Structure 1
Amino acid sequence: MRTEKEKMLAGEPYQACDPVLSQDRKRAKKACQQINQHDTDDLAGREALLAVLIRFDGKFWIEPPLYVDYGYNIQIGDNFYANHGLTILDGAPVIIGKNVFIAPNVVIATAGHPLDKTRRATGEEYVKPITIGDDVWLGAHVTLCPGVTLGNNVVVGAGSVVVHDLPDNSVCVGTPARPVKSLA
């Protein structure tokens, strides 16, 4: 029989209250707490704490506070910047390209719950991966929902909710976010 963590990592419905997953989230919360309270003058120490939690492929800067569910499902490309209040629910992979800039209070959520009230009441969750291409800018208070892919050179306007994939070279706004301008 598969463990709940194996189910989650395979993208199958799982129980988030599983003791192993709960322990993984607790570890990530403690790491975020350390990062968020770390001395702002100790840049090397702060970067080292972040690199234990998240995989980075180059230089990065994340303003505190940062919140993640697990950390181990997040991969971030070179030249990454996130402003205050980034939340990443990473039950599924979150792949972020290079030259990505994130404004304050952005939510990247791979996790969701069933529409069926009986299944939802049991604590069942599902996850779908999120991919963010290169040269993307997410405005303040943007929410990325489970399973979306943002192409390269995409700008998502402040307050937008992304529920569908967004094409390369586009400015996208609204709820749900949709392309309103081409950057090609």
Structure 2
Amino acid sequence: MVSEREKMLAGELYDAADADLKQLRLRAREKMAVFNNELDRIKRQELLKNWFGTTGNHIMIEPQFSCDYGCNIHVGENFYANFNCTFLDVCEIRIGDNAMIGPNTQLLTPLHPLDAKERISGLEYGASITIGDNLWAGGGVTILPGVVLGDNVVIGAGSVVTKSFGDNVLIAGNPAKIIKEL
């Protein structure tokens, strides 16, 4: 029998009210409280390394940081996220090396059914976000479920990324589109 967590990570409809998932979210909230109240950058770095699925050695996220679980977030070496970022990780979020993420950025993997009866029932699903090396995302960027970005992508401040893009591009707007090849 497949667990609700396995369904969630696979991008299938799952019951968000599942007791195991509730417990995982509660643990994440406890970790968020500790992380967001820690003033020492080195201690915050160690907290992330023990919380996220995988990390590089040199990572930094400024408080306030919010997520659903944390354990479904995977970041590479030289990762930096500025203040007030939200990474909703019902599915995996994978980010390569040398990422710089501006304040108030949102990476959102959850989705909800369009059918009202299905949505009201509490079922949800998601789609992972995968980002290559050398990302620079300006402040207030939103990246939606299922997006895959290549290496060397720059995202203009305030952009909403609704679809995938390859390597070496500057994207911006709502919805984001290619502004320039890099």
- TM-score clears 0.5: yes
TM tier relative to shorter chain: over 0.9
1:94: how far off? 0.7
Q: In 1, distance between residues paired with 2:30 and 2:160? A: 29
The answer for unaligned runs of 5 or more in structure 2 is none
Which residue in 1 is equivalent to 2:43?
45
SS in 1 for 2:130: strand
The Cα of 1:124 is off from its aligned counterpart by 1.1
Paired with 1:144 and 1:51, the residues of 2 have a C-alpha distance of: 23
Cα displacement string for residues 39-92 of structure 1 (whole angstroms, at most 9, x for unaligned residues): x2x333222211111121220111101111111111100011100011111111
The residue aligned with 2:126 is 127
**Secondary structure at the residue paired with 1:56?**
coil
1:28-43 maps to which residues of 2 (within 5 A)? 28-38=28-38, 40=39, 42-43=40-41
User: What secondary structure does 2:22 align onto?
Assistant: helix
Q: Distance in 1 between matches of 2:123 and 2:42?
A: 39
* Counterpart-to-counterpart distance in 2, 1:57 and 1:50: 10
TM-score by length of 2: 0.96
- The one-letter amino acid paired with 1:25 is R
Q: Separation in 1 of the partners of 2:122 and 2:77? A: 36
* Deviation string, structure 1 residues 117-161 (Cα, Å, up to 9, x no partner): 111111111111100111111111111111001111111111111
| Matched residue type, 2:48 | L
User: 23-32 or 53-62, which moves further after superposition?
Assistant: 53-62
Q: Distance in 2 between matches of 1:64 and 1:88?
A: 13
Over the aligned positions, Cα root-mean-square deviation in angstroms equals 1.0
Q: State how 1:105-144 maps to structure 2 within 5 Å.
A: 105-144=104-143
Stretches of 4+ moved more than 6 A in 1? none
The alignment status of 1:8 with 2:8, answered yes or no, reads yes
SS of residue in 1 equivalent to 2:25: helix
TM-score, scaled relative to structure 1:
0.95
Tell me the equivalent position of 1:165: 164
Matched, 1:67 2:66: yes
The aligned length equals 181
- 2:7 is matched by which residue type in structure 1? K
Contact 2:44 2:60 in 1 (8 A): no
Question: What amino acid maps onto 1:169 in structure 2?
Answer: N
SS at match of 1:33: helix
